[in-house]
Structure 1
Amino acid sequence: MAATVVRQHRVYAEMEIEREKVSEIETGKLIRQLRNDVNPLLADEHIVETGHEYTREISDGMYGNLWYRVFGYRVSFTAWRQVYNCRVRKVTAGIANIPARVEGWRYWETKHPMFGGRRLSDR
């Protein structure tokens, strides 16, 4: 049994510089204004691809099961705000998944095929 996990991370940065130059030309009673707008856009992009592979021999007469997961934390949060009349109001609430640096493979063998953590014969 062989399995591969590949990830791509895209880092993109963009910067726009706005510059305006105004000059006046006076000829007698006539005044002219010349405007020169320069807006260069600078952008840079990098794509980083990482991955790893897991290989394992399956015992005769058995089914190999493999699970890959990034271990992390599940955090619930609530944001409150005190309004002008001194009452406290909830602004937002939710659950955030924060990945940890720990990740890995879990391998086990069964005598019957499994799908989604359950044996196919149990369905």
Structure 2
Amino acid sequence: MLAAVAASAVVVTGGGQTASAGCEFYVYYELKATSVAMRWPSIPIFTNGKGGTLSVSKQTNKAVSYGVVAGAESEVGAVLAKAKVSISANLTKTNSSTVINGFSHTIRPAYYGHVKYVSDGKRVSWVKKRQNGNCTYTTIGSGVINFPSISEGWDYWESKSRAV
């Protein structure tokens, strides 16, 4: 998923100063996002098999939070604000849940079933740029932040091995 944001739509700061070359000074973000399943740290990965059924239930008051993979922690708020507009309004800094959520799945014979509880988040790559008054551009920051969303559920897969 590509969510590059038009510079004029995401002006963060800038005094509207125009240089003699006719270019306006402003700062903006370019964003790209891919899906990421963010595992709840308090809930283990469950495994069962070979064959049979895997049934689990989640009841916790823990949370899954954003994680800065690369770049500056100070950019989290600005990047999240832009990502909520251009990528998904469901993104959040923290997803906290207290509901009970059950899951059951039949495992194919000779396979192991695995399941983990996740928030359906986004891995947001960002670049912060400045258009200088002389019509040139300068990169002033970049990074990657994993954001959870308010969407959550079980992520199931099967393998020939019990190891995850």
Q: Which has the higher contact order (CA 8 A, sep 6+)?
A: 2
Structure 2 length as normaliser, TM-score?
0.33
The alignment's TM-score, normalised by the length of structure 1, stands at 0.40
Rg: which structure is higher? Answer: 1
Q: Compare the two structures and name the one with the higher helix fraction.
A: 2
Q: Which has the higher strand share?
A: 1
